[in-house]
Chain A
Amino acid sequence: MKKSLSLALAATMALSLAVTGCGGSNGNANSPDTNTTPADNGGQQTGGNPENGGGIAGTVPDDTTGFFLSVKNADIQTADVQKTTKDYEIPMNIFDRLVDIEVDSQGTSRIVPSLAEDWEISSDGLEYTFHLRQDVKFQNGNDFTAEDVLYTFKRLLTVEGGVNTELLDQVKGAAEVINGSAEELEGVEQLDDYTVKITLTEPFAAFLSCLTAPGLSIFDSEATEAAGDQFGMDPSVTIGTGPFSFAGWSFNDQLVLVRNENYWKGAPALPGVIIKIIPDTETQTMMFENGELDIIDLDFVTDATDRFLETYPDQIVSGPRVGITYLTMNFNIEPFQDLNVRKAVQMAIDRQAILDALYGGRGQVEQGIYPFGLIGYNDSQTKISYDPEGAKALLAEAGYGDGFTMELAADSSSSDTVTMVLEIVKEQLAAVGIEANIKNYDESTWLETRKSGELGSFVSTWTADFNDPENFIYTFFGNEEKTRIRSINYPDTEVMARVGAARGIVNEDERLAEYRALEEKLVHEDAAWIPMYSRTHLWAVSPRVQDFKPVWSGVSDLVYYSVSLSE
């Protein structure tokens, strides 16, 4: 009796474990292609329109042959682009924006129509009037209208967990909506069903570029409102106008996109895309070489790049990464108030050697603030030369002939390559007598210290959100607060006032000239910033991949619209 009782108890427990296990596995492990988010009936209500003939949001077809096999090394947190500053891949493929950016083969870029087929800008640079396309439908069959634009912009400012409010900073009434003193966003008006007028508080030359940012993707007002906080989480309710619909997401496993047959620009060539989530880069490498992937981002396997270039010379795709790696010096920390010290540090670092050693020389040494590929990039400016002897002389002149100690602040969450850069910089500084100590911070402390303006020197990379120098110079030298939260603490308020004012210069040539002058002043006269290099971004693709093109800024998020596979 007693024996059986205790047996039964043990068995019950084991069983309950097993049942929990099995219950779950029916849902997703046996059929890995179905999405595991609690789709419930939401899919049928908003996304399940069978007449769409494929590309139903939230539904992964059984047959995934011909799907493009892509990979990411970490899962996304959301597809709601208003709530993320980095997970752009899904939004770039399932949503459209009012305008787009196009880069021609010479590297010059221009703003092209997208959901807005035409626009006018008032002469004072304050009013933008957009005429929207009238033939666009969302993936759920709803029509795209001006109302959706209004909804989307207001939501950007008010949605819980929104992190891209900055994008609309210049729009009239934005501040009031954020702080709750206004209900409606004054600066965005619906003139008719297909016309929207946006008013800015001050002229902002980069505004059109800004509208190309992924964060300003347009949502369906009806579906998004209905989805609530499941928008971006549950594929079936995450609706856009883009070339693909969001078909499935099983967390930490894969993301699935399916062709939107009714895409207003014409359906994409690919029937769909499966994006596997593989954190281990060696695993990714082996998968690619085994034919389990159609693409691999060599940025995540920097160290294998040489081997890939050798092994798959015909399968490499590259594009400039429009972003600059820089080293900071904090004006509030001794002895960086001294111009000679800053110049000495600029000269002490052999940037070409670092680029060669860690990135096989793929990229270029930068001399300013705006990297190669960005509007405003200046290839004829003053160069900083690698000159350790000169650096020593300058240090001696500044009274630091015996050197000094400084901190190199490392963020423990950054990649090994960044850490290696620090290790090399440390050695190079040692060669001119500066003792640089690498101090490791965990990510949050690093961010917080940096924000307080007290972080020591650090190496980081800023990649373009949109194609304008404003996005760079204003971020670091826009005003006292901007330079403090980057732990630079540049003291010249006059120069920073010019940086702010440049945003309002309506004449494009004048504006760019001012930006160049400021760049020269900041980097070469004041030595307030040490530009390191910008890099070329490489991908390897499988032989069947055709027409793959990285996005203009060279970020890792891929756009699959133009891609096709040969069989």
Chain B
Amino acid sequence: MKDKNEPNISAQIGEADTWLDKGKTLIRQNKLAALSALIILLIILAAVFAPVVAPYDHLQQSLTDRLKDPSAAHLLGTDELGRDVLSRIIFGARISLTIGLVPTLISMAIGTILGLFAGFYGGKTDFAIMRLADVMLAFPSLLLAMVVMYTMGGGLINIFIALSLVNWASTARIVRAQTLSLKEKEFVEAAKSVGVKKHVIMFRHILPNCLPSLIVLFTLNIPSAILSEASLSFLGIGAQPPSASWGLMAVRGKKYLFSEPWLSIAPSVAIMIVVLAFNFLGDGLRDVLDPYLKEQ
């Protein structure tokens, strides 16, 4: 993190930091964030290549091998239907990561567009969009997601909708705030003065400048989506079996906490690792990328 007390060294040496430089700074300054990035990458790879990586078919039941303790054959033991827990966690990464990514992408896309419009056009547009955002923000997020799931029933698609609906408002607020300040910047004024079209200014000139904040926000929203899904699973309105998210595995495994603790601990630890990794990466990225996002 740069110290404002010192003159901006980058400015002094006359070069803006490139993305590569920022990456290097991240690795040099914040080993933890770099490590987190590596872990996330590995988990994504494991999810993508799950059929290759997983030692067993995650759906293969074996009623005679139920609830086996961890062993060389089954590193994390087997579950209540005799399925290999490690394989299920590897395959579960697909669902959990999807649940982390898809609603976050959707909600941030909505939030970004609305935030841009609100900030850029101001006036009534701004008022309408921001009051709508206020309404969304006034709901306790889990409760809102519960209501949506209540209305539409369980299932992955509905989880996406529920979580997207919950999260767009905060993105909209941040993008709006940045748009407001970027709008006054010289380069935007310049673009305006030479008659560049409004949507071009919004999407070509302002949006790229919001990108660092959005990237940070993105990394911080993913874990909260994963956790929200776990909460919904606890209430029985999250992912539905046989598709197994980590949250659902933890919920179903917790009944065996006293006798076969790995059934709930393993997926919980998986969640914890991913959540912490995204958090640390997000914090690290913010330090490197983003002067705006001090709140959050």
Given a CB threshold of 8 Å, the question of whether A touches B is answered with: yes
The 4 closest A-B pairs by CB, nearest first: A442-B153, A440-B240, A357-B63, A303-B255
Whether, in the assembled complex, B61 has its beta carbon less than 8 Å from a beta carbon of chain A, the answer is yes
Provide the residues of chain A in CB contact with B236, threshold 8 Å. Answer: 412-413
Inter-chain contact B63/A353, CB cutoff 8 Å:
yes
Chosen A-B contacts, 6 in total, with CB atoms closer than 8 Å, are: A303-B80, A303-B255, A426-B242, A438-B240, A438-B241, A442-B237
Q: Which of B142-160 contact A (CB under 8 A)?
A: 150, 152-155
Give the Cβ gap from B215 to chain A, nearest Cβ, in Å: 35
Contact partner of A427 (CB less than 8 A), chosen from B61, B153, B240, is: B61
A416 and B155 CA atoms in complex are apart in Å by 16
Q: Is A312 an interface residue (CB 8 A)?
A: no
- How distant is the Cα of A301 from the Cα of B256 in the complex, in angstroms? 9
Asked whether any CB of chain B lies closer than 8 Å to the CB of A424, the reply is yes
Q: Is B66 an interface residue (CB 8 A)?
A: yes
Flag B227-268 by CB within 8 Å of A: 1 or 0 each.
Answer: 000000000110011100000000010111111000000000
A304 to B263 CA separation, bound complex (whole angstroms) = 13
Question: Contacts A410-B240, A440-B154, A440-B155 given: A420-B255 contact, CB under 8 Å?
Answer: no
A222 contacts partner chain B, Cβ-Cβ < 8 Å: no
Contact A357 B81, CB 8 Å, known A303-B255, A412-B153, A423-B61: yes
- Give CA–CA (A357, B252) in the complex, Å: 16
A282-B254, A301-B255, A303-B256 known; A423-B241 Cβ under 8 A: yes
A224 at the interface (CB under 8 A from B): no
Q: Contacts A301-B255, A416-B252, A424-B61 known; A442 to B154 CB distance under 8 Å?
A: yes
Chain B residues near A (Cβ < 8 Å): 61, 63, 66, 80-82, 150, 152-155, 236-237, 240-242, 252, 254-259
Known contacts A282-B257, A356-B63, A440-B153; is A423 also within 8 Å of B81 by CB? yes
Instruction: Give 1 or 0 for each of A44-58: 1 = CB within 8 Å of chain B CB.
Output: 000000000000000
A505 to B270, CA, bound (A): 63
Complex Cα spacing A356 to B258, Å: 20
Also in contact, A307 and B255, with CB within 8 A (given A423-B61, A424-B61, A440-B240): no
Mostly, the B contact residues are: loop
Tell me, yes or no, whether A419 is within 8 Å of chain B by CB: yes
Q: Inside 8 A of A358's CB, which chain B residues have their CB?
A: 80
A420 adjacent to B259 (CB under 8 Å): no
Which residues of A have CB within 8 Å of B150? 442
For chain A residues 432-450, which have a beta carbon within 8 Å of chain B?
438, 440-442, 445
| Complex interface: chain B residues within 8 A of A302 (CB) | 255
Known contacts A412-B154, A424-B61, A445-B153; is A304 also within 8 Å of B241 by CB? no
Question: Which residues of chain A from 290 to 309 have a CB within 8 Å of any chain B CB?
Answer: 301-304, 306-307
The total of interchain contacts (Cβ-Cβ below 8 angstroms) comes to: 65
A36 at the interface (CB under 8 A from B): no
Docked Cα-Cα span, A301 to B258, in Å, equals 11
- Residues on A with C-beta less than 8 A from B152 are 442
Q: Which residues of A contact B (CB under 8 A)?
A: 281-282, 285, 301-304, 306-307, 353-354, 356-358, 410, 412-413, 416, 419-420, 423-424, 426-427, 438, 440-442, 445
Cα distance A558–B258 in the bound complex, in angstroms: 26
Q: Are A412 and B258 in contact (CB under 8 A)?
A: no
- Distance (Å) between the CB of B39 and the closest chain A CB? 30
Q: Given contacts A357-B66, A427-B61, list 15 more A-B pairs with CB under 8 A.
A: A281-B255, A282-B257, A282-B258, A303-B259, A307-B259, A357-B82, A413-B236, A416-B252, A423-B242, A424-B81, A441-B153, A442-B150, A442-B152, A442-B153, A442-B237
Contact between A282 and B255, CB atoms less than 8 A apart? yes
* Assembly CA distance A413 to B153 (angstroms): 10
Distance from B55 Cβ to chain A, minimum over Cβ atoms (Å): 19
The interface residues of chain B lying within 8 Å CB-to-CB of A413 are: 236
A388 CB, min distance to chain B CBs, angstroms: 14
Q: How far is the CA of A423 from the CA of B154 in the complex (A)?
A: 17
Residues of B within 8 A of A442 (CB): 150, 152-154, 237
Q: Which residue of B lies closest to A353 (CB)?
A: B63
Q: Tell me which residues across on chain A come within 8 A of B66, comparing CB atoms.
A: 357
- Kindly provide the distance from the CB of B226 to the nearest chain A CB, expressed in whole angstroms: 20
User: How far in angstroms is the closest Cβ of chain B from A357?
Assistant: 4
- Smallest CB–CB gap between A208 and chain B, Å? 40
CA distance in complex: A196, B198 (Å) = 86
B87 to chain A, nearest CB (A): 15
Rounded to whole Å, the gap between the CB of B286 and the closest CB of chain A is: 31
What is the CB-to-nearest-CB distance from A444 to chain B, in angstroms, rounded to a whole number? 9
